[in-house]
Amino acid sequence: MNILKIHVNGFGKLNNYDLTLEPGINLIIGPNEAGKTTLHLFIRSMLYGAEKKFRNRQRPVYERMRPWKDPEKFGGFMEVEADGSCWRITRDFNKDPDDLVMEELKDGKTRRLSEEEAAKQLKKLLNDLSETAYINTVSAGQLSSATEKDMAAELRRYAANVSTTGSPELNADRAIEYLRKERTNLESALDPDAAKDYAGVISAAGKLEESLSGPEYENRISEILKQNAALGLEAEKTESRIGELEKTIEQHRAELMQYELDGSAAAEELKTRVTRDFGTYKALESKLSGKGSVAAAVALFVLAAVLAFLAFRYRNEYLSVILLFAAAGGAAVGAYLTLHFSADMKAEAALAESLGREAKRITGRDTVDRETMDAFGEKMDLLKKEASAMEEAADEQAALKEQMTRILAGQNDGKDALSQQEQTRAAVESKLQELNAMQSEAAALRKKVEQNQLLRDRIDAIDIAVETLEGLRDGIRSAVGTYINKEASHMVEGLTGGAYTSVNAGRQYDISLNSHDGMISVKDVSAGTADQVYLAMRLATIRFIVGEDDAIPLVLDDSFALYDDERLRRSMRFIADNYRGQVVIFSCQNREAEALKDEDLPCNVIRMRH
Amino acid sequence: MKFIHFSDIRIGSPTESGRHWSDARQDERFRTLRRVLDYARDTEADLILIAGGLFSHQPVTSEMDRVNALFKDHADIQIVIIAGEPDCLKNSSPVRSYVWAPNVHYILSGQVERVVLPELKTEVCAASVTEEQGADPAIFGLADIKAFITSRPSEGFTLEEIRSYTGRPVIRIAMLSGSDAETLTKTFDRTDFTYVAAGLGGNAKEILPGRIYSPGNLEPEAMQDGGSHGIYMGEADEETGELTEIHFVPMASASYIPLLIGVTRNSTAEELSRMIAGEIRRRGEKNIYRLKLTGSRDPEQEFDLEELKRDFRIAEIIDETEPEYDFEALFAEHPQDMIGYYIGTIVNSGREMSPAEKKAMYYGIDALLRTRS
């Protein structure tokens, strides 16, 4: 494509400005404030529209170039030729979108293209060169760095970018490094233990809950309190019953004491004895009252006495002895009887006395007769009943006392059980508090786990991106890098007049130049040489992007300020010989014009004034 | 006889723990309980029915003390409480031995117990959820009164005694937690209960008009608990035993509110912050919000809204915005370089990008653009 005519309606400081260019080399010479850069930007804006984005931290072209004197006049047109056809590109930057009009000029006739056709045709004219690529290749200025070291670095960057991404702007390694750093940041935000801790807390809480369901934690306090209360009542009842019984027993005992009796055994014994004695007494009485016995005794004594007297009277030996024996016998028997009777009488007297005593004690009567005995018997029965009652009461009391011991033991157990339960309560309480804390912790940890998952998703995405970029980079490097090196080498050789035969943008992006004397790093060459290498790389990149027919006008804006005359001439020659497309050189001095003249290179010279 | 029926206030709930407002939220549950009790007093309610979920877990003594103190302050209102699933009765449950205020009847059995309130001409038949047994409405047996005469009378009153005391039919209320609407309807449809106080959680539901109601969670637990939260207020006639009035009274301290925020390429973080803050203040700072951001954003913009989390109650912020890369335009701009290739390889593969691939592409392109010379 060649730009033939430019008409600036209004753009920056240019107003109603016309310019004619020719295929081949065009030289636009003008002082610094003449508007070269403006023109430069106008060309770009005609091709791509007035940019409204920020680029390289500069205010957008649209804002910068909006004329403040006549703002309605903001646009213009450009006529280009390509593939045997002519096209006019007209834009009015005040309209949004900027009202691109494209017309085909053929055989004197103008055909207006539709919007769709215009966009397609423009793209074709540009050979798919994007605005970014345009800025970085066809219309780039010189190396912007001042020192040689910086230039080398810039060059290296340029080479590195192009050979790894196909674009002078993009840098695969920096992008990858950026992603790796992002990844590290994300990883450091991960809580690697969150999932483990969460599982741990959940499991611990589960175990804790389970442990609480064991029988030792059963809450039996109500039950135990009820039991203890019941025992208490029972104790009370028993105690009071014991008291009652005690009273009863005392009463009975006192009563019996009056009769000098201590129990039913004693009473029984007394009654039996007295009854027996009375019987004996009565028997004796009747025995003794039988006069026969006394008379017999007396008679015997008398007989004995008579016999004894007779014995002494008759002193007949045989008779006396017999009579004496008989008397003795009679006396003996009489004595025996008398003794017996006296014993009985004594016994009778004794019995009478004791019976009388007992009877008096019990009945208050001292006559020993049947009536008294009856009264005695009755009273004894009563006393016996009382004694039984007392003894029954005593038995009951004893049993109750035994029961009381058991109850007390039960109450003690109850107290122990209660304090045991209270301890259990406290243990349960503290476990529940622990459980609550665990559940809160679990909730917080679960959130962390979720966050972790989000972070991991992002990390995975970064991994995919890095892998893709690495793959693309390696692919591009092998394809593009090789091409660029080859092309750039060819150009460097030409540009340097054979001083350097090839250029190699190596892996470490150190650019090395081959000369007869060996390899030299671009760091160590002069600024001028570095600039030439830059130019060579640019041209190689353009070739790569646009194709080998160089179908885009090359714009060189003040690119040769650092060149000495020799180099300048050589460069002009090289460009003229090697760039197959249109070339537009902006300069603020005459040197380029002179160099072209010296090399006998045809060029179209335009002078811009203020 | 006026009564109030609510459930699932879940004191002690740990769901919002870790947030700066979680302690405040705990207190709010107590305050809501107090509000309900004060409301009961103001409307001269005689009876409060708590159908499960008074606590969110086995309560500790301090929690029971605090609740009991509130109950004591309203000593002239009878309160019947059953355990629900979150605070179900276990062998080791502390409520088994806790001494409640005299106006509180805490049902400690999974079988139906009758709480007889002669002054109110009411009896409440209630059963708690225990560890062994979930809620089975069938245990409430038939409407046949005889079934209850044979069951053990509580506090020494038999139904006949009540009837003789009143001489008229009495108000009978059943209360249980758990089960489901269908089973409850089937079980209680043809019974003669005046009112069935169910506790199904979730949102308030009229399960069987004029008979069975479930008030839902009094305080919302989580994002899913949208809608209104509150209590049922009812009235039953002491002469006829009929339910004469039942209506829902919203009464929660806070609601969960989802906010959907659409962003555009021009949105900035400050702008969003300001807008969201304004919206939250308008709708109530006590409420709990979940923010969802959608739309396309300027790739250079990152929405850091963490400050909002500090100032307001925000449960979560879901950022579904995507950096607005016009991939077509980018592809047109970069046909011959890595960006173009990246887009090309993925777009031209023809198949749908997985979310990870999509995200990866954003990352890759973003990284390339960010690290431009």
Q: Of B373, B370, B337, which is closest to residue A145 (Cα–Cα)?
A: B373
B97 with B174, same domain?
Answer: yes
pLDDT of residue A545: 77
* Structure-token match 């306090």, residue found: A221
CA torsion sign, B16 to B28 to B250 to B285?
negative
B273 with B213, same domain?
Answer: no
B44 with B80, same domain?
Answer: yes
Condensed to tens digits (0 to 9), the pLDDT of residues A382-434 reads 989 989 999 999 999 999 999 999 999 999 999 999 999 999 999 999 999 89
Query: What count of residues does chain A have?
Result: 610
Q: How far is B111 from chain A (nearest CA, A)?
A: 18
B137 with B17, same domain?
Answer: yes
Cβ-defined contact of B363 to A182 (cutoff 8 Å): yes
B332 with B217, same domain?
Answer: no
pLDDT of residue B193: 84
List the 106-125 stretch of A: residues with Cβ below 8 A of B: none
* Structure-token match 């179209």, residue found: A604
List all residues 6 or more positions away from A407 whose beta carbon is below 8 Å from its beta carbon. A231, A234, A235, A238
Task: Tell me if residue B295 falls in helix, strand or coil.
Answer: strand
Domain extent for B46: 2-250
Condensed to tens digits (0 to 9), the pLDDT of residues A137-154 reads 777 665 555 566 666 677
Task: Tell me if chain A has a CB within 8 Å of the CB of B12.
Answer: yes
| Structure tokens that stand for A372 in this block | 């008294």
- Cα separation, B233 vs B197, in Å, equals 11
B127 with B22, same domain?
Answer: yes
Mutation target to probe the A interface, by most A beta carbons within 10 A, among B93, B342, B365, B371 is: B371
pLDDT of residue A249: 92
Task: Tell me if chain B has a CB within 8 Å of the CB of A361.
Answer: no
B319 with B343, same domain?
Answer: no
Cβ-defined contact of B338 to A131 (cutoff 8 Å): no
Cβ-defined contact of A132 to B18 (cutoff 8 Å): no
pLDDT of residue A278: 87
Cβ-defined contact of A429 to B94 (cutoff 8 Å): yes
Count structural domains, chain B.
3
B149 with B159, same domain?
Answer: yes
List all residues 6 or more positions away from A383 whose beta carbon is below 8 Å from its beta carbon. A256, A259, A261, A267, A362
pLDDT of residue B110: 84
Nearest CA in chain B to A163: B337
Of A170, A428, A432, the CB nearest to B337: A170
Final residue of a domain: which of B222, B250, B278? B250
List all residues 6 or more positions away from B11 whose beta carbon is below 8 Å from its beta carbon. B26, B29, B30, B33, B54, B55, B56, B59, B63, B67
DSSP per residue, A117-173: HHHHHHHHHTTT--HHHHHHTTT--S---SSHHHHHHHHHHHHHHHHHHSSSS--HH
Residue A524 DSSP one-character state:
G
Q: Work out the end-to-end distance of chain A between its first and last CA atoms, rounded to an integer number of angstroms.
A: 29
Mutation target to probe the B interface, by most B beta carbons within 10 A, among A169, A418, A537 is: A169
| Structure tokens that stand for B307 in this block | 């400050």
Condensed to tens digits (0 to 9), the pLDDT of residues A551-610 reads 888 888 877 777 778 888 888 888 888 888 899 998 888 888 888 888 888 888 888 876
Q: Work out the end-to-end distance of chain B between its first and last CA atoms, rounded to an integer number of angstroms.
A: 82
Condensed to tens digits (0 to 9), the pLDDT of residues A202-242 reads 999 999 988 888 888 888 898 899 999 999 999 999 999 99
Percent helix, strand and coil across chain A, each rounded to 5?
65, 15, 20
Task: Tell me if chain A has a CB within 8 Å of the CB of B345.
Answer: yes
Contacts of A432 in chain B (CB under 8 A): 57-60, 94
Task: Tell me if residue B196 falls in helix, strand or coil.
Answer: strand
Cβ-defined contact of A167 to B334 (cutoff 8 Å): yes
Cβ-defined contact of A440 to B373 (cutoff 8 Å): no
pLDDT of residue B349: 67
Query: Within 13 Å of residue A425, how many CA atoms lie on the same side as its CB?
Result: 17
The CA-atom distances, in angstroms, between A409 and each of A68, A93, A404 are: 112, 109, 8
pLDDT of residue B151: 42
Instruction: Compute the average pLDDT of residues A63-73.
Output: 84
Of B345, B356, B372, the CB nearest to A461: B356
Contacts of B363 in chain A (CB under 8 A): 179, 182, 461-462, 465
Determine how many CB atoms are found less than 10 A away from the CB of residue A14.
22
Task: Note the pTM of the prediction, 2 decimals.
Answer: 0.62
- Cα separation, B89 vs A459, in Å, equals 47
Q: How far is B169 from chain A (nearest CA, A)?
A: 35
pLDDT of residue A192: 86
pLDDT band at A466 (very low <50, low <70, confident <90, very high): very high
Q: pLDDT higher for A17 or A328?
A: A17
Query: What count of residues does chain B have?
Result: 373
Condensed to tens digits (0 to 9), the pLDDT of residues A318-369 reads 777 777 777 777 777 777 777 777 777 888 888 888 888 888 888 888 788 8
Q: How far is B94 from chain A (nearest CA, A)?
A: 7
- Cα separation, A73 vs A8, in Å, equals 9
Mutation target to probe the B interface, by most B beta carbons within 10 A, among A53, A58, A128, A167 is: A167
Cβ-defined contact of A436 to B356 (cutoff 8 Å): no
pLDDT of residue B147: 38
SS (H, E, C) A50-73: CCCCCECCECCHHHHHCCCCCCCC
Fold adopted by A1-127+547-610: Rossmann fold (3.40.50)
List the 431-490 stretch of A: residues with Cβ below 8 A of B: 432-433, 435-436, 439-440, 443-444, 447, 457-458, 460-466, 468-469, 472-473, 475-476
Of A130, A169, A219, the CB nearest to B92: A219
- Cα separation, A486 vs A541, in Å, equals 11
Q: How far is A564 from chain B (nearest CA, A)?
A: 29
Q: Of A201, A445, A435, A440, which is closest to residue B15 (Cα–Cα)?
A: A440
Final residue of a domain: which of B206, B235, B250? B250
- Cα separation, B14 vs B318, in Å, equals 22
B151 with B241, same domain?
Answer: yes
Residues B291, B314: contact at Cβ < 8 Å?
yes
List the 128-157 stretch of B: residues with Cβ below 8 A of A: 131
Of B335, B336, B356, the CB nearest to A457: B356
How many A×B Cβ pairs under 8 Å? 163
Residues A502, A492: contact at Cβ < 8 Å?
yes
B330 with B303, same domain?
Answer: no
List all residues 6 or more positions away from A516 whose beta carbon is below 8 Å from its beta carbon. A501
DSSP per residue, B136-152: -GGGG--S-HHHHHHSP
Instruction: Compute the average pLDDT of residues A64-77.
Output: 86
The H-assigned helical ranges of A259-369 are 264-289, 291-314, 317-363
List the 293-332 stretch of B: residues with Cβ below 8 A of A: 332
Final residue of a domain: which of B190, B215, B250? B250
- Cα separation, A328 vs A311, in Å, equals 11
Task: Tell me if chain B has a CB within 8 Å of the CB of A222.
Answer: yes
Residue B130 DSSP one-character state:
B
List all residues 6 or more positions away from A88 whose beta carbon is below 8 Å from its beta carbon. A77, A78, A79, A101, A102, A103, A105, A110
Cβ-defined contact of B368 to A170 (cutoff 8 Å): yes
Condensed to tens digits (0 to 9), the pLDDT of residues B136-189 reads 777 775 433 433 443 444 445 555 665 555 444 478 899 999 888 888 888 888
pLDDT of residue A215: 87
Q: How far is A104 from chain B (nearest CA, A)?
A: 24
List the 167-196 stretch of B: residues with Cβ below 8 A of A: none
B286 with B202, same domain?
Answer: no
Contacts of B92 in chain A (CB under 8 A): 212-213, 217-219, 428
Cβ-defined contact of A473 to B59 (cutoff 8 Å): no
- Cα separation, B238 vs A410, in Å, equals 49
Cβ-defined contact of B359 to A440 (cutoff 8 Å): no
Residue A41 DSSP one-character state:
H
Share the mean pLDDT of chain A.
84
CATH code of B195's domain: 3.60.21.10
In the predicted structure, residue B5 carries a pLDDT above the cut 80: yes
Q: What is the ipTM of this complex?
A: 0.75
pLDDT band at A170 (very low <50, low <70, confident <90, very high): confident
Q: How far is B232 from chain A (nearest CA, A)?
A: 30
In the predicted structure, residue B103 carries a pLDDT above the cut 90: yes
Please give the share of chain A, as a percent, with pLDDT higher than 90: 24
List the 139-158 stretch of A: residues with Cβ below 8 A of B: 157-158
- Cα separation, B10 vs B39, in Å, equals 19
Task: Tell me if chain B has a CB within 8 Å of the CB of A131.
Answer: yes
H or E segment to which residue A20 belongs: strand A14-20
pLDDT of residue A371: 86
Q: How far is B287 from chain A (nearest CA, A)?
A: 20
- Cα separation, A446 vs B368, in Å, equals 35
pLDDT of residue B231: 93
Task: Tell me if chain A has a CB within 8 Å of the CB of B222.
Answer: no
B175 with B292, same domain?
Answer: no
Nearest CA in chain B to A159: B373
pLDDT of residue B79: 95
Q: How far is B61 from chain A (nearest CA, A)?
A: 7
List the 37-66 stretch of B: residues with Cβ below 8 A of A: 57-61
pLDDT of residue A203: 94
Q: How far is A201 from chain B (nearest CA, A)?
A: 14
Contacts of A537 in chain B (CB under 8 A): none
Task: Tell me if chain B has a CB within 8 Å of the CB of A417.
Answer: no
